[in-house]
Amino acid sequence: MTPAPDREDDTVANVARPAAPHALTGPLLPVPGTLLPDLLGAVTVAWRDETALVAPDTTYTYGALHARVQRLARRLLDDGVGAEDLVAVLLPRTADSVVAMLAVLTAGAVYVPVDSGYPQRRITGMLADARPRLLLTTRALADRLAPDVPALCLDDPETAAATAALSPGPVRDGDRTRPLTPHDAAYVLFTSGSTGRPKGVVVEHRSLMNLVASHRELFFGPATEHLGRPRLRVAHTAAQSFDAAWDPVLWLFEGHELHLVDDLTRRDPALLVRHIAEHRIDVVETTPTFAEQLDLSGLFDASRPHRPGVLALGGEAVGPVQWERLRALPHLLAFNLYGPSECTVDAFMAPLAAHPEPTLGRPVANTRAYVLDERGRPCAPGETGELHLAGAGVARGYLDRPDLTGERFVDDPWQPDGGPVYRTGDLVRQDADGTLAFVGRADDQVKLRGQRLEPGEVEQVLLGHPDVRQCAVLLREDAPGVQHLVAYVVGAGCVPADLRAHAAASLAPYMVPSAVVVLDALPLSPNGKLDRAALPCPDFGAPGGGRAPATPAEKLLCRLIADVLGVEDVGPEDDLFQRGGDSMGAIRLVAAARAEGLTLRLQDIFEHRSAAALAAFADRH
């Protein structure tokens, strides 16, 4: 892999300006000269016999984790892996997934996470785009996915024995193919693309270390001071291919205890709340949508024997009701984190206690933010514009996509070095206190009967109703040429007719939703974000199958789906999600099916959405 080519000038660079725009800037902090592999060695010296990692399959002290990482890194070096070589990691959620991540970085190579829960077609496409030098995986996953890339199966007995025989001593630059530098790539993270093809964001070691420096000062330090202990227990609940997976791992480099939560538990609010109490977890990071479900499951109940003292929210905007609720909890130190993958996980942060209303807050360390209009001109305070980010956290660009890199990463015309500026596509407004408020996406506009509208504006109006705790608005086209603006709301006492009247009082007639659907919870993707594809059709009350179950498997699945949905009857052809199902229901269906001896994965439910399709899939496998 080579660095991204020079970028062409773009709109921001071509517009002549008499003076530089006002930039919001984060604190100027020194970035450690060491890189993550050496930082792991230093923290191991300090905390060698303390618990470092608690995983579903095993527990490691810092000393044991460091030794295992060094041995696997030496195995990678023996296989010729070096700087700028991509190494894909396709592993289940076990201790080896963390070991592999750290070993790839220690060898000086580039870590590429691949979620084992993804559909095979997506995994194959990601590996084809990345063209990794090596794939770290298991025999079962290698056999099932059969990727066309050299694979090292960590559970192969010969591989395990040979790796265990290697030296556990720290890997140094002399052991690597060449010395590791801050400008070498650390990881490639694939994100969704507007064309339907994922794109790989290339992040360098310097950007990761900048995030470490910033979080030490603004996040980890306040958290340990708040709880009064030098070492905290930190839950890792993010999907491994999601950029938010880095935040909990960075706590590990500061001497804290990382708890890798298994897939079933991390996706089920009730199970996760129980797990947090049993393991006395101090720090939880999740999305606002999932945090709401955790709250409803009793996470912050004062009667509980243990509650987490630190909460970090990211990935989505926090609504005003949730913001006020979390600020009011005296035991809780809560943060709002914002950042695109292209800016190394977190670019803004806000302690909720310091802000009475939802805000992105201020930039993280060594970061600049510009708010510009459509022509690249600075926006005045109170005006809405697109957020542009610059500084140490900006990624190198997109892997082997110079066209996309040139579109989104442009030269900063206001800085002497002309460093890159990332155009986020997020619309923000600078408030009177100098912080930024998230408004929506620049590309989220939809057109309904010839009129353009922002779903985010409709959502904000509905969230202003006292009964609405969560809201999502989208334009549906469930039949060709038939469009409806539909609002999905969560909240006790919500009445669709009242909410439409509330919207009509503030919005133009064409912006008032034609249907309001009340849900127990908004469906979530594996990353914990709103799963728009799983939002049900407004008319989901009646079964639409017509025929009776034809096989024992269909009959069993119809019964299980009906139980999960809480309805009397489900036809074999009924779409689970159009009948009101969601991600939580899918999780319960997986558990119920397994209890009956039918093994299904969560992704199977999303790919085969009816009893008939699931039964046919189960017969083939």
Residue 482 is encoded by which pair of tokens? 């038939």
**In 263-351, beta strands by DSSP E:** 283-286, 310-314, 333-338, 348-351
Cα–Cα distance measured from residue 558 to residue 546, given in angstroms and rounded to the nearest whole number:
13
Provide CB contacts within 8 A for 497, sequence distance 6+: none
Q: What are the residues facing 50 on neighbouring strands?
A: none
* 366 in Cβ contact with 210 (< 8 Å): yes
Among candidates 92, 140, 143, which has minimal Cα distance to 113? 92
Residue 419 is encoded by which pair of tokens? 């460093």
Cα–Cα distance measured from residue 38 to residue 182, given in angstroms and rounded to the nearest whole number:
12
* 580 in Cβ contact with 540 (< 8 Å): yes
- Which phi and psi (to 5°) does residue 189 adopt? -115, 125
* 576 in Cβ contact with 537 (< 8 Å): no
CA atoms within 13 A on the CB side of 78: 13
> Which residue type is seen at 397?
G
pLDDT at residue 546, as a whole number: 64
* 606 in Cβ contact with 581 (< 8 Å): no
Residue 500 is encoded by which pair of tokens? 């439409």
3-state secondary structure of 607: helix
Torsion of CA 257, 261, 266, 272, to 10 degrees: -70
Residue 493 is encoded by which pair of tokens? 């006492």
Ranges of the chain with pLDDT below 50:
4-19, 194-196, 450, 481, 540-541
* 485 in Cβ contact with 445 (< 8 Å): no
* Sign of CA pseudo-dihedral 260, 264, 270, 274: negative
HEC-encoded secondary structure of 227-246: HCCCCCEEEECCCCCCHHHH
**In 480-598, beta strands by DSSP E:** 482-490, 515-519
Only one residue has tokens 């909460």, namely: 311
pLDDT at residue 29, as a whole number: 96
Residue 403 is encoded by which pair of tokens? 């066209």
* 434 in Cβ contact with 24 (< 8 Å): yes
- Which phi and psi (to 5°) does residue 186 adopt? -100, -45
Cα–Cα distance measured from residue 592 to residue 613, given in angstroms and rounded to the nearest whole number:
17
3-state secondary structure of 413: coil
How is residue 361 annotated by DSSP? Answer: B
Dump pLDDT digits (tens) for 449-488. 545 577 888 898 899 999 999 999 998 876 554 577 899 9
Cα–Cα distance measured from residue 313 to residue 332, given in angstroms and rounded to the nearest whole number:
13
Each as own residue / partner, the long-range contacts of residues 347-355 (CB below 8 Å, 24 or more positions apart, any chain) are 347/389, 347/393, 348/436, 349/218, 349/219, 350/435, 351/222, 352/323, 352/326, 352/327, 353/327, 355/433, 355/435
Cα–Cα distance measured from residue 329 to residue 299, given in angstroms and rounded to the nearest whole number:
12
Among candidates 90, 37, 35, which has minimal Cα distance to 65? 37
Nearest 5 degrees, angle CA 326-CA 327-CA 333? 85
Domains of the chain, first to last: 62-181 (3.40.50.980), 207-438 (3.40.50.12780), 444-534 (3.30.300.30), 552-620 (1.10.1200.10)
Cα–Cα distance measured from residue 63 to residue 587, given in angstroms and rounded to the nearest whole number:
36
* 521 in Cβ contact with 582 (< 8 Å): yes
Provide CB contacts within 8 A for 121, sequence distance 6+: none
pLDDT at residue 457, as a whole number: 80
Question: Residue 424 is inside which H or E element, if any?
Answer: strand 420-430
User: What are the distances in angstroms from CA 230 to CA 221, 224, 251, 277, 566?
Assistant: 9, 6, 12, 20, 47
> Which residue type is seen at 474?
L
Task: Round the average pLDDT of the chain to a whole number and report it.
Answer: 88
Cα–Cα distance measured from residue 284 to residue 309, given in angstroms and rounded to the nearest whole number:
9
- Which phi and psi (to 5°) does residue 569 adopt? -145, 135
- Terminal Cα-to-Cα distance of the chain (whole angstroms): 38
* 107 in Cβ contact with 99 (< 8 Å): no
